[in-house]
Amino acid sequence: MATERAVLIRYQVNGKGFVGSGLRVRDRFVLTADHCAQGTGHQVQLLNGSRYEATVHVRSGSAEVDLAVLALGKDAPTMEGLGAARVDRAVADSIRGCQALGFPRWRRNQEGNRILAQVDGAVPTGEGLRPDSGGAEAELLELKGTGPSVREHPTSPGELVQGSPWGGMSGAAVVVNDLVLGVVRSHNLAAGSGSLTVTPLSALTALPDLIRDPFVDALGLPDPAVWPVLPDRVAELSRAVLRVRDATDHPPRVMDVDAGVFGARKARTDLDLHGDPYYPYVTREVDEQIRDALDRRVDGSDMRMLLLVGEAMAGKSRTGAHTLQAHPVLQGQPLLIPRTSPALHQVTDLIAELIARQRSTTTDGSAQGAVLWLDDLNEYFAWLTEDLATTTWRAIPNLTVVATIRRGELATLQGDSDMRATWEFLNNKNQVEKIPIESEWSTSDQAALTDAPDWVRTAVAEGTPLGELLGSARELLAKLENAAAPMRALVEVVVDWQRTGIPDVITEAQALELWAAYLPRRDAA
């Protein structure tokens, strides 16, 4: 959260001066507590020292829903909007990573002027619920602050009055990942030191429409009913398990990702790429076979793993990506691309959360499903068990599992006694459906290469895979053969790093550390 969002609010009540905190949430609007909007003469001071007169845009007028919005004049700078979130109070959990920026009485400089305090902490979802509340939207939250500043200046039960150490913190918004949860209020019913009581922003739904609507409009938010719900178990599991996530840390939709996410390689740049860095997809006869297989997964008649098998650069990843993204049902489903790590088993937990969330949003309790993509399946062998793939995943409704593997990697399993079970599983037609992606293109396939240069069509007709041509594979290998020892060593380091299945890109420091071991002894010296 940008610190420039925090503001110090000064105002008068019956001729007496008061201070509070607020947060610039959108445009020239400041979110604060309702009691900080009482009185007159409101003035807002930014962190850069500039001061602006403020008017009360809307107040809740409610002691229960202690929320208000101030509006700065047109001479004040604007801010990008923040989102908002609701708290799931049906399950005891904690929303970690919360922050509140404010100006409590205890935080001053040598001149006695208030300076910004940052409270980091968590919001326990079950704390503060009252049996007699009837599930009211205004049930208060508790921000459990951590750090030395909180320990040295404990909050006290009762009102957060101006004379208390935390006086002036009222109106500070509690934010997590740029989502506003609520606002610190005047009445601190704290359960022990370090707690600040918070009015949830979702309490706006308890207000009459004439009051709630100006709040929602000023904050630039959709209807509270569609706000994200925290804790977001899907986001937590996605961060732990997935290689690729969307802006909300959820799995992206199949249609929304770049072909490179599936493992496709960008094409050489000395061709007319027609605006597609991977070269426009060229349909082949095998596409129809894959589409039919995907249709069977969607209608539930075949839930086996679908495995695309072929040589390196035969187009396995690109073909799989294209057919999935073109499928009318699967293109809109969440795409799960797991990290190659022991956390692979958590994919099941993530899918369960996704399915449960999907069912909660449909009237008939149905689930949309998900697509699990395992490019270079051999990278997952260390953590992929037959029980996981055949029993757990196949039991999940509407889960489509698609994988790719090089034919050579598949062949090596046969002679590896330690991988015998994996070999038998992948060759069990009751568990896995294999579709070959051939390197050589049929006459029918070649007929689709109408927009390709003559030399590309000729090379494909002679048996060179299109992927190999687009990737400049032979040219690069020739250059590598004749490269100087330092360059060759660097390339080999990067290639070996990729082959390990480590999901993170090798850093410059790591490459330099490993590079020397790849140099011939005379060059390393």
Nearest in space to 117 (alpha carbons), one of 127, 107, 129:
107
As a whole number of Å, the end-to-end CA separation of the chain is 50
- When the candidates are 1.10.3720.10, 2.40.10.120, 3.40.50.360, 3.40.50.970, the CATH number that belongs to 1-228 is 2.40.10.120
Cα atoms in the 13 Å half-sphere on the side-chain side of 194: 13
Q: What is the pLDDT of residue 465?
A: 78
Taking residue 288's Cβ as centre, other Cβ atoms within 10 Å add up to 11
CB-count exposure of residue 159 (10 Å: 0-12, 13-18, 19+):
middle
Class of domain 233-444: alpha beta
Domains of the chain, by residue range, sit at: 1-228, 233-444, 483-525
Q: Return d(Cα 435, Cα 110) in angstroms, integer.
A: 74
Q: Return d(Cα 52, Cα 24) in angstroms, integer.
A: 13
Q: What is the pLDDT of residue 189?
A: 45
Residue ranges, the chain, pLDDT below 70: 132-137, 147-164, 186-194, 272, 365, 470-478, 501, 503, 521-525
Q: What is the pLDDT of residue 473?
A: 61
Fold equal for 1-228 and 233-444:
no
Q: What is the pLDDT of residue 525?
A: 43
Q: Return d(Cα 216, Cα 214) in angstroms, integer.
A: 6
In 3-state terms, what secondary structure has residue 313? coil
Show the tokens assigned to 101.
């920026």
Nearest in space to 297 (alpha carbons), one of 403, 225, 212, 385:
403
Q: What is the pLDDT of residue 457?
A: 82
Taking residue 223's Cβ as centre, other Cβ atoms within 10 Å add up to 9
**Which residues of 46-93 form beta strands (DSSP E)?**
51-59, 68-72, 83-84, 86-87
